[in-house]
Amino acid sequence: MTKSVKRATIYMDPEIHKALKIKAVETNRSLSELVNEAVRQALAEDAEDIASFEERASEPLISYDEMVARLKRDGRI
């Protein structure tokens, strides 16, 4: 079965494009594979962040001033 793919045009910084082409040659992978992998990783990190925020949603909020006071009290700053 053929995997369905979508075509997109993206504009890259020339230096990033050059580095990506070199990595593609060195790893014997296509530019598309490398870009897809990077985007998947970025989306997975976003999903982890969202899950962390949801887990902590019920925690009490503290003000910036209160946080600075805690850090000072604990000797962190």
Full 3-state SS string of 19-69: HHHHHHHHHCCCHHHHHHHHHHHHHHHHHHHHHHHHHCCCCCCCCHHHHHH
How many independent structural domains does the chain possess?
A: 1
Asked if the structure places residue 18 within a domain, the reply is yes
Q: What is the pTM of this model?
A: 0.66
Asked if the structure places residue 8 within a domain, the reply is no
Asked if the structure places residue 9 within a domain, the reply is no
Asked if the structure places residue 1 within a domain, the reply is no
pLDDT digits 0-9 by tens, 2-52? 678 999 999 999 999 999 999 999 999 999 999 999 999 999 999 999 999
